């Protein structure tokens, strides 16, 4: 069982890095294979819930070429997983995100994300 979790963590680590690459480049084409068609985003700063079209538009309009991450944490429980990390686009200013994944037909799919600023 532990080997399966280790394998899942490796896959989710790769998906997380792809997610970050998509945001650095503002690329829907990179991100699309990761997200569920029913994906929902919660803006932790405003509390606003975004549907997928709004999320895609924001991604494309706001590339983040200086985005870096650290403090990555991945938790796997059966067919559910959560990936979280701290982000920064400039020194001294941080946010945190949490992405929720579901395993569907043997493949991890991101179904929900939330980002909020850290004090």
Q: Give the domain ranges of the chain.
A: 2-117
The topology (CATH level 3) of 2-117 is Nuclear Transport Factor 2; Chain: A, (3.10.450)
CA distance 84 to 16: 9
Nearest CA to 54 out of 73, 69, 41 is that of 41
pLDDT interval class at 3 (50, 70, 90): low
Q: What pTM was computed for the model?
A: 0.92
Count the neighbouring beta carbons within 10 Å of the beta carbon of residue 41: 21
Residues 26-71 pLDDT 10s: 999 999 999 999 999 999 999 999 999 999 999 999 999 999 999 9
Contact 100, 82 (CB under 8 A): yes
Percent pLDDT > 90 in the chain is 95
């Amino acid at each position: 069982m532990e080997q399966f979790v280790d394998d899942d963590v490796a896959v989710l680590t790769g998906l997380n890095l792809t997610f970050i690459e998509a945001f650095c480049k503002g690329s829907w084409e990179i991100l699309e294979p990761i997200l569920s068609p029913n994906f929902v985003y919660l803006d932790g700063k405003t509390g606003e819930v975004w549907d997928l079209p709004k999320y895609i538009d924001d991604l494309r309009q706001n590339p983040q070429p200086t985005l870096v991450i650290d403090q990555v944490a991945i938790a796997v429980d059966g067919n559910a997983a959560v990936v979280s990390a701290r982000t920064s686009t400039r020194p001294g200013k941080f946010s945190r995100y949490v992405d929720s994944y579901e395993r569907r037909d043997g493949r991890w799919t991101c179904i929900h994300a939330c980002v909020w600023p850290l004090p």
